[in-house]
Amino acid sequence: MTELRPLSSSGLLVSPLCLGGNVFGWTADKTQSFAVLDAYFAAGGNFLDTADSYMHHFPEQGNEPGQSETIIGEWLATRRNRDDVVVATKVGDHPEHMGLAAATIKAAAEESLRRLRTDHIDLYYTHFDRDESIPVDEIITALDDLVKAGKVRAIAASNISPERLSASLAFSDREGLSRYVALQPPYNLVSRDTYEGARREIVRREGLACVPYFALASGFLTGKYRPGRTTENVRDLPGLAGGYADTERGVKVLDALEQVATARGVEMATVALAWLARQPTVTAPIASARTVEQLPALLAAQDLRLSDAELQALTTASS
């Protein structure tokens, strides 16, 4: 059984692999999504990540915002396991609730609660901090109101500048309001400067948890993208994964991953997630599975302990 770990100072206990819900209602229909959720939960996983906007960015595929939350809500209701699951969702990117104005945050939270069929959100992220004309004071105060009302247990931030993250934490401390307990940045073996540096230093100094997304670089770190090889993947956002294959760094990372994976008898995805999980401040990488068959390689990362030499080889290849 997976050993749960504390998510910073939130009081929440989470599994070391967070299951991404971005595929639910997109490349995985309700039946497939339920099967993946069942398998993840049966393996001891309890940490689900979604957003109110998933997956409105692909209307040509018939996608509408909120489908992922709706599927997760139906699963929680039918399985009657709400108290055993930590549900994280996000605000700020839904086409009808865009941005982080106080009224937008509160209205979007009500819609997320309705779709998730729950009376509280365990971890509520600001999804994108695009409009920096909105004071961090307004954002934090609105989020704190939701916590005081019992509708949110803990708050966090996703795509945010180091300066705004620091300012948000300082305002929370100064006013005695809820403070961010986690940061969700894009971070993986081929995208390190998106987190390492100022953001990681703030997370370390302030005692936050890092819950990185794009942990497998949109599938690139599974090894299915190689120079000269074409792979049709609707989840390549947009051309991101395939783009890494044409870089010297990308080739070096894949070679290093393959060497470690072969020696250990595991999948490359398992090694990539295990490397990420060992990085300073990281609590639980986020990875998604469209089918049950894709899940074991992700879950195996929780038990793979890379040696110092293996970690160094991967770090060097990705530098």
Give the DSSP per-residue string, 173-236. Answer: HHHT---EEEE--B-BTTB-TTTTTHHHHHHHHHT-EE--BSTTGGGGGGTT--TT-----TTS
54 annotated active-site:
yes
Distance CA 152, CA 119 (A): 9
In Å, how far are 89, 173, 191, 215, 257 from 269, measured between CA atoms? 24, 39, 15, 9, 8
Among candidate residues 125, 120, 135, the one with its CA nearest the CA of residue 181: 125
Tokens of 239: 């051309």
Options 54, 124, 195, 244, the catalytic residue: 54
The answer to whether 271 and 285 have CB atoms below 8 angstroms apart is no
Residues contacting residue 118 through CB under 8 Å, at least 6 positions apart: 73, 76, 82, 87
Distance CA 212, CA 188 (A): 8
Q: How many CB atoms lie within 10 A of CB 196?
A: 15
Q: What are phi and psi of 158, to 5 degrees?
A: -110, -95
What's the distance, CA 63 to chain centroid?
Answer: 20
Residues contacting residue 146 through CB under 8 Å, at least 6 positions apart: 105, 106, 109, 124, 152, 155
Q: Which sequence positions are flagged as catalytic?
A: 54
